[in-house]
Structure 1
């Protein structure tokens, strides 16, 4: 039986988008802070948290692991942690929440007993074997199928040994962050050594460090590849989650595409995540740089790629190989979507995406349906194309609930007319 997937079509948009929108809290910071607060001994308060699919999976899992979590208001949470985690009564289901899967895989070593962590069909295609290898080398019994992807099984002993741990961050910096986040609970001080001389998305390592230090951890480096973490445990904290820079990129790009003015309630300097660097690049639109290195702002690349399609430059996006192992292969999804709008608009050379900007694209674009691949960032980015081109439909629009449930309503508040089917 054939199932028809839902779509959303951008019917029309004001020539200039003007108004005010609400940017949610950062997913990256929220899920780090949720875990750290759950590992502290006592009550912590988090404000400005993101409430979305990804963070709700983390909240549910932490509750099943013994933390007491209560929403005191819409985006404020109180967490009572015990300084450790208990064995859940069943496996932990984490959907396609990559941060939850990776961070909890290491954290479940604190459980005395076996824990299975699983996700949806997309999660079961996302590699996690570098983290599993690192845990086993550190004396923590962890297994994963031959695919190297979830489900993961942790055979916890109730403690983390500590000492020196090696890990590869080539596929994702989240493997390093995962080990960092649990290191303060180890039996002895921990030194985490990166297998590579450098990795992409080092800005997210700084996000990890800042959350840890807010809850009393001590992290220092004696070189770029070694992270020393004291076994201090975590202290309770009243913590404010910063706004989400990745979400902001869509409205920064919408401003540039339409010549409008959108008030986010924050300046670009108020965003602490690496994707905020996209703001400066967008200021040169329509003449974007010929080369854009996406290693340090990977979640902003789909936004920048769609914006580049309307520019006057040929833009090569480099340093983006890790986009192939996100919620989908984002390099392939961007290539397919851009060429759906206009054949020849983009090409791929190895892991680089090249976008051939066309200032006349609104006149030359053809009506089409963009396959979001169930990826929130693909759906939200290609909505930007619909602001300028007629007939753009996007499959599975509800996938934006992963990080920005109110995305479509915020676009509507700016006067964008949408049609669901």
Structure 2
């Protein structure tokens, strides 16, 4: 299937009920895979996500001499010498942002040159601030465009004592530097050049994962961390379910007045996107203004849910959404206006959704261009729960983080029609 394939969700007309277990967290799985690869010994990762993004990460680590076995659908067994070797070929990482950014920093520990590349979407995603930070820390890092492909000429060790980074564009830059910092020859400080940071909750996630693998991280203040040169130790690690994936199921429950048991309470998640449940729980009386900076991947879910809210919703602080798998601000605007013209407007980096509960029960000839972005596909499936005729292009793109998404909806009783553009 590809861009010419479509899926049309048939409005079920009844509350969605049942038990659906969301997949493991992509964010935590890719952190744990990398740290296990940098640790000497064998680590068992349980509850892991198997998807395009984690496949790209695990394959890249295999190319650098790490043994990774997959005994079942939710486990990785990672055995490493504690150091990454020079790969024989460039690392191809698709459109996996975490894999590209985390590995760009991590391969500084390789004694030789490593090329990191991705698909045509990845080749438009900025990585310049991370490269500049690495260069100032003494790393030889090249990129012709400020986006992948990237070439890192590693020296086999990390000699920097300080990395400075503007985390405003992506918290993944900060996480990448923190994780490699534990491999330093001496203690390394990671400092923000501004107080702004993409999504601070993901830094907490990174530090928790690092500590599980034996790292010592001191949080000096909100803009400075000090990482000891401990390296990493192999361990057994349990990965929690993916909060971003859970948001679609929480929203489906709210939209249909259903009862979907995810097997884990919203408050049990440590990922930032779980904060979206506080907003979803208020539907159809969502707040008039929602700040997207600290739960970025949940904003597509909330934007589609807002279309059926009683009152209009303005989403603010969305600049980071413009440099995700696609420009999600524009993609949400275009998709909502496909569902019904005038449903959304963009002002700067704000998205305004002109909510209307009367939208439920209507029909549309919407054709949603997903731009191969898993989150755009999954969020507009929610519109299809209440509006007839919403066609979603390239439905297989959900494989990036939630390969079983369409099956989960079918299990809850949602029917779908497959077609072509």
Distance in 2, Cα, partners of 1:371 & 1:385: 14
CA shift digits 1:114-136 (9 cap, x unpaired) = 11000000000000000000010
Aligned residue number for residue 206 of structure 2: 208
Aligned residue number for residue 81 of structure 2: 82
Distance in 2, Cα, partners of 1:4 & 1:107: 34
Q: Give the Å deviation of 1:198.
A: 2.4
Aligned residue number for residue 238 of structure 2: 240
- Secondary structure of the 1:360 match is helix
Distance in 2, Cα, partners of 1:381 & 1:15: 19
Contact 1:21-1:264 within 8 A present in 2 as well: yes
Distance in 1, Cα, partners of 2:238 & 2:341: 45
Superposed, 1:392-407 pairs within 5 Å as 392-407=390-405
Contact 2:3-2:372 within 8 A present in 1 as well: no
Q: Give the Å deviation of 1:327.
A: 0.1
Cα 1:223–1:4 shift into 2, 3 Å:
closer
Distance in 2, Cα, partners of 1:216 & 1:175: 21
**More divergent stretch after superposition (5-14 vs 58-67):** 5-14
**More divergent stretch after superposition (236-245 vs 70-79):** 70-79
In the alignment, structure 1 residue 292 sits paired with structure 2 residue 290: yes
Contact 1:12-1:418 within 8 A present in 2 as well: no
Aligned residue number for residue 375 of structure 2: 377
Structure 2 gaps of 5+ residues are none
Contact 1:342-1:364 within 8 A present in 2 as well: no
Contact 2:3-2:393 within 8 A present in 1 as well: no
Distance in 2, Cα, partners of 1:81 & 1:26: 23
Of 339, 354, 361, which aligns to 2:359? Answer: 361
CA shift digits 1:300-322 (9 cap, x unpaired) = 00000000000111111111110
Aligned residue number for residue 116 of structure 1: 115
TM-score (norm 1): 0.98
Aligned residue number for residue 319 of structure 1: 317
Superposed, 1:18-417 pairs within 5 Å as 18-145=17-144, 147-417=145-415
- Secondary structure of the 1:419 match is strand
Distance in 1, Cα, partners of 2:404 & 2:289: 33
Q: Give the Å deviation of 1:171.
A: 1.1
Q: Give the Å deviation of 1:12.
A: 3.6
Distance in 1, Cα, partners of 2:366 & 2:104: 40
Distance in 2, Cα, partners of 1:278 & 1:11: 25
CA shift digits 1:336-359 (9 cap, x unpaired) = 000111111111110011111100
Cα 1:365–1:343 shift into 2, 3 Å:
farther
Q: Give the Å deviation of 1:183.
A: 0.7
Query: Which contiguous aligned blocks of 4+ residues in structure 1 show a shift greater than 6 angstroms?
Result: none
**More divergent stretch after superposition (31-40 vs 197-206):** 197-206
Contact 2:189-2:225 within 8 A present in 1 as well: yes
- Secondary structure of the 2:341 match is coil
Contact 2:361-2:386 within 8 A present in 1 as well: no
Q: Give the Å deviation of 1:4.
A: 6.5
Report how many aligned residue pairs link the two structures. Answer: 418
Contact 2:362-2:386 within 8 A present in 1 as well: no
- Secondary structure of the 1:69 match is strand
Distance in 2, Cα, partners of 1:385 & 1:310: 9
Distance in 2, Cα, partners of 1:4 & 1:160: 43
Distance in 2, Cα, partners of 1:62 & 1:13: 43
TM-score (norm 2): 0.98
- Secondary structure of the 1:90 match is coil
Contact 1:198-1:224 within 8 A present in 2 as well: no
CA shift digits 1:318-341 (9 cap, x unpaired) = 111100000000000000000111
| Alpha-carbon RMSD | 1.0
